[in-house]
Structure 1
């Protein structure tokens, strides 16, 4: 038995396949899901979701959202999702370094929050390609 994984963004179905196991980036840390997992709804942080199919592991950058696990079906609703193939590694590295610098320079509370979100997005994309 396997999990049916569906990753939805506002504009498309990003992933709709079966998997043996997933690891989600939740707001409280990583959460693994196997078949027959207890039903749960969880908030997702910006980060990497790992998906294990019968062949191998696939990683996807998620830009925050929610996940519903119920009866071996996992529905992931996210603001955005990206695969490794769609990201230019040198651009991702440059964006990560710039976001890190902006986070260190941020002064006000609003500026720090915005810089932190930009840093998390850039870090997720960079981790995916490195």
Structure 2
């Protein structure tokens, strides 16, 4: 993995969740999984409902966020995640989310939210 860094900002309508230097970002988009390293080609991608964003900080720490839709914007030096809603994996009760997943109708908003939260926790476990 590269040790070159880029600026990463993760924001949702209700909060700025992360702002700092990262060496890698992985996200689920509507067309598949994407990995971003420093100097990535500029692009704009739509984040998938029920997805997760995983980041590796400059110091090597990994963090994950459950993300419910939005966009991923990549420029020459910055990656911005504009999420409809997002939550850090450390704030998620996995047992409650597994129960919610079991009781929700597949494809429903509740199902996708629970799936996203479980993915985020599993990504850094």
TM-score range, shorter chain: 0.7 to 0.9
Return structure 1 stretches of 4+ with deviation > 6 angstroms.
none
The counterpart of 2:29, out of the listed 26, 31, 53, is 26
Task: Tell me which of 82, 89, 100 is aligned to 1:84.
Answer: 89
The offset of 1:44, in angstroms, is 0.7
- Secondary structure of 1:20's counterpart equals strand
TM-score under structure 2 normalisation?
Answer: 0.86
The count of corresponding residues between Structure 1 and Structure 2 is 117
Q: Normalising by the residue count of structure 1, what TM-score does the alignment of the two structures yield?
A: 0.83
Query: Contact between 2:12 and 2:84, CA under 8 Å: does it hold in 1?
Result: yes
**Greater CA radius of gyration, 1 or 2?**
1
Match of 1:49 in 2: 53
- Is residue 2:110 matched to residue 1:118? yes
Tell me if structure 2 keeps the 8 A contact 1:96–1:126. no
Q: Distance in 2 between matches of 1:129 and 1:34?
A: 22
Report deviation, 1:80: 0.6
Partner of 2:101: 96
RMSD: 1.4
Higher helix fraction: Structure 1 or Structure 2?
Answer: 1
User: Which structure 2 segments of 5+ residues have no match?
Assistant: none
Match of 1:16 among 8, 14, 19: 19
Distance apart, 1:3 and its partner CA: 1.3
